[in-house]
Amino acid sequence: MQYISTRGGMPPMPYCETLLEGLAPDGGLAVPEVMPTVDGETLERWRALTYPQLATEVLGLFATDIPRADLARMTAAAYEPFPEEVVPLRSIGEGLTLVGLSEGPTLAFKDMAMQFLGQVVEYALERKGSVLNILGATSGDTGSAAEHALRGKERISVFMLSPKGRMSAFQRAQMFSLDDDNIHNIAVDGVFDDCQNLVKKLAGDLDFKRAQNLGAVNSINLARITAQVVYYFWAWLRATDAGGWTELSFTVPSGNFGNILSGFFAKQMGLPIRRLVLAANENNVLDEFFRTGVYRPRSAAQTLATSSPSMDISKASNLERFIFELVGRDAARLVAVWNDLDTKGSFDFTADLARFVDEFGIVSGTSTHDDRLETIRSVYEQTGEIIDPHTADGVKVAREFSESGVPMLVLETAKPQKFADTIREAIDVELDYSDELREMLDAPQRVTEMADDEQALRSFIEAHALR
């Protein structure tokens, strides 16, 4: 299995080399040269596997340059910190089932991919005899998941940008309380899109990237996307009966289009998915695109601070991988589309609207703060289950797209403890925290505040990067 760039300027690369590269040298994103496929007989064989075993099988289709025994060892290590079931499924009534993705060390779905990424990046670096300086941007959960997966690793340093004052207190504590020498938190005076723009500018400077051994762990990195594909297969296998070919739908709270892109990959691989339902918050640029065909990112000033902050994103990095498929994997046309975005501030696929649903199965909707509060309240009253605000966005939109006879699975985003203020506002409940979590919340925090300044970031990385 080889990987190419969406923009056509990268020679085919194997999995390990691609994941160390991060952003492709031509500024594009890595995608499989040919998408692997899975048939019904294979799915049935996978039904009895544990989560690490299933991860080995699915990831083995992508990471063909890694010996199977090494891959099995890494998946076992990645999911050892999770409860035995790893990803439990829980019914919340109305035909909806939550896919429990928040059982990892940082209580968010990002752990599902990051724990594997920490293993495979270290493996690839040891095999190559090199080091990597991770440069990433987070709107809330990616940063803590990456830092907890990579802390203390000798060959890796992490430089994680976050929007100053835009994350919950819990999210800040999970990141800023870490005191490992290889972890560098940088709070940028701006919004997530400003942080992401800085990452792309530095990653796009190939001389600087090579000199500083820069890489990426957010969903720019293909390993993140492929590791997330696994739980779509897991959830389908747990929600269906043996021997059946049941179509079901997934609703995915989405800001950067990475999580739902993994579902899109799973559907392309042959998993019987009827609909992929994208749930946006008030920063609903993606919802507008899938409803109208017009993609029009907003400025930093127009990006709202909401009560589902991990989705406060107005320019989705991973949409490029979907557009690549939409234009028939034509790299030249993809580049033309992105040039339109740079010059006009938008691009238009209204002529392809029907394909979004008929060919790709993607529909979308928006949820607001009031919607989140009402959804948290109604789920709690009906089931006793407390869901976080991002998951509430998903449940609200899932209800709008539920179809009789088609199971609807909603991907959980995080534990509610990460967003206690919103839970308190919705249902007037004070959440319980373990002694370990309270110690984390009270711990001293270590963070460097920085203006939205490319040169300042360059200087900081030059002074602290591994060589």
Centre a 10 Å sphere on the Cβ of residue 383 and count the other Cβ atoms it contains: 15
pLDDT at site 243: 75
Please list, in sequence order, all residues whose beta carbon lies within 8 angstroms of the beta carbon of residue 18, skipping any fewer than 6 positions away: 3, 30, 222
**Rounded CA separation 448/7 (Å):** 34
| Domain residue ranges in the chain | 89-104+222-427
Joined together, the tokens standing for residue 319 give 């949409």
**Rounded CA separation 109/90 (Å):** 15
Phi-psi region of 93 (alpha: psi -120 to 50; beta: other; left: phi over 0): left
Q: In this predicted model, what pLDDT tens digit does every residue of 180-211 receive, in sequence order?
A: 999 999 999 999 899 989 998 998 899 999 99
Q: In this predicted model, what pLDDT tens digit does every residue of 287-325 receive, in sequence order?
A: 999 999 999 999 988 999 999 999 999 999 899 999 999
* pLDDT band of 353, cuts 50, 70, 90: very high
Look at residues 413, 420, 451 and name the one whose alpha carbon lies nearest to residue 163.
451
- Per DSSP, 432 falls in state P
CATH code matching the domain that covers 89-104+222-427, chosen among 3.40.50.2300, 3.40.50.150, 3.40.50.720, 3.40.50.1100? 3.40.50.1100
* pLDDT band of 142, cuts 50, 70, 90: confident
Phi-psi region of 152 (alpha: psi -120 to 50; beta: other; left: phi over 0): left
Query: Which active-site residues does the annotation give?
Result: 110
